[in-house]
Amino acid sequence: MKSYINVCDVEKYYGSAAGMTKAVDRVSFQVSEGEFVGVMGASGSGKTTLLNMLATIDSVTAGHIYYQETDITELKPDQLAKFRKENLGFVFQEYNLLDTLTIGENIVLAMTLQNKSKKEIQKGSEEMMRLLGIWEIRNQFPYQVSGGQKQRCACARALINHPKLLLADEPTGALDSKAAETLLETFQSLNASKRATIFMVTHDAFSASYCSRILFLKDGRIFHELIRGQKGRREFLNAILDVLSATGGVKDAR
């Protein structure tokens, strides 16, 4: 499988010379096209920092991140914004929907920023909303719908422009178990049917069990990697829990 995203020796330091914190410490890995990669780790392990650097919303202190041929660590702010617009989709724990726009308009806005035609926008957004089961609530405002629906709207918005990579930061963090399950199944089916490449950060083993590969982060370093291969989801979950219990971090195994 060819390398799609290549993270080479990435480091991220915070603070001044007096009190330096290494959030990410010489991390290297590759993501292939159509992969569903999960990153797990305890709070403060550097997983969100890593995601933010991949998402171009935070810069690296050292190292390189290649999206195919493009080294995003070399891009200027305006180029980064363009890159983000054309290549990345985001799903966050807090949904991050625009509260003044309806569910449908949140998705439409993501397309208008790409200067797509009215027809294309109408067709594309309807298809995506139907796919994610939010067509019926398209005229509601975010405050009027459930957390799960909001998160699916965020997913639809993230995927509407067919990004090279979907970045998800604790996407199920604010959802109840049923809604979390529906969302993860959506991720899985998008990954299978649309060949969407997904990079998900989570501290929840159940969520991670939907991934095809998991990187375990501790103190800013990758200390373990699990590949699902032909394993069933339950089996994979057990494998994850084994890794977590070995490092003393079993939590939330549903």
Partner 1 sequence: MLAKLALRNVRRSAKDYLVYFFTMTVVVALMFAFNSLIFSKEIRDSFQGVEIMEVMLGLATFFIVLIIAWLINYMMRFILEKRSREFGIYLLLGMEKRQIAKLYMRESVLLGAGAFLAGLVFGVLVQQILMAILYSMVLSDYSINIEFDRRCFIMTASCYAGCYLLALFRCKGKLRRMNIHSFMNAARQNEEIKESHEELKQWLFPISILFLVLFGVWLFYGKEWGSHTMLLFLVGLVLVIYLFYMGLSAWIVIYVRRGGNAIYKAQTLFLLRQFASKIKTMRFTMGTLTALFVLAFLGCSVATMFNFYENRMLPDKMPFDIHIHSAYVEEDFADQLSIIENNVPVKEAYAYHIYENQTTQINVWLYTHLQVFGDMYKKADGSPDLQALLEERNLAYCSYDTYMSLTDYNHLRGMLGLDAIALSNEEYAIHIKDRVFRETGDFSDQLVIETSDRILRFAGYHTEPFSQDGHNGGDYVIVVPDAVTAKMRPFYSELAVQLDGKTPEHLRKLLDDAVNIDADTMLGGTECVGSESILVWGSDNLVRDNLLLEMKCMLSSVIFPLTYIGLVFLCVALTVLSVQQLSDSAKYKFRYQVLRQIGMGTREIAGLILRQLYVFYLCPALFAAVISGIIIGFVGGKFNLYAGTTTPVVVYFGISLVLFLGVYSVYFVVTYVGFLRNVESDK
Q: Which residues bind partner 1 (CB under 8 A)?
A: 55, 57, 77-78, 80-82, 84-86, 88, 90, 92, 96-101, 105, 108-110, 112-118, 121-122, 139, 141, 143, 157
Q: How far is the CB of 110 from partner 1 (least distance, A)?
A: 5
Per DSSP bridges, beta strands 198-202 and 165-169 are parallel
**CA distance linking residue 252 with residue 254, whole number of Å:** 6
Q: How far is the CB of 194 from partner 1 (least distance, A)?
A: 19
Q: How far is the CB of 143 from partner 1 (least distance, A)?
A: 5
Residue 200: phi and psi, rounded to 5, are: -120, 130
Residue 231: what residue type?
K
Q: How far is the CB of 56 from partner 1 (least distance, A)?
A: 10
What pairs with residue 13 in β-bridges?
Answer: 22
Q: Which is nearer to partner 1, 93 or 209 (CB)?
A: 93
Which are the contacts of 218, defined by CB distance < 8 A and separation ≥ 6?
41, 42, 45, 247
Q: Match 């702010």 to its residue by tokens.
A: 77
Q: Which is nearer to partner 1, 121 or 241 (CB)?
A: 121
* The token pair that represents 49 in the structure block: 């920092």
* The token pair that represents 100 in the structure block: 């003044």
* The token pair that represents 120 in the structure block: 């294309």
Q: How far is the CB of 54 from partner 1 (least distance, A)?
A: 13
* The token pair that represents 82 in the structure block: 């363009």
Q: How far is the CB of 83 from partner 1 (least distance, A)?
A: 9
Q: 39: closest CA among 242, 212, 195?
A: 212
Residue 28: what residue type?
S
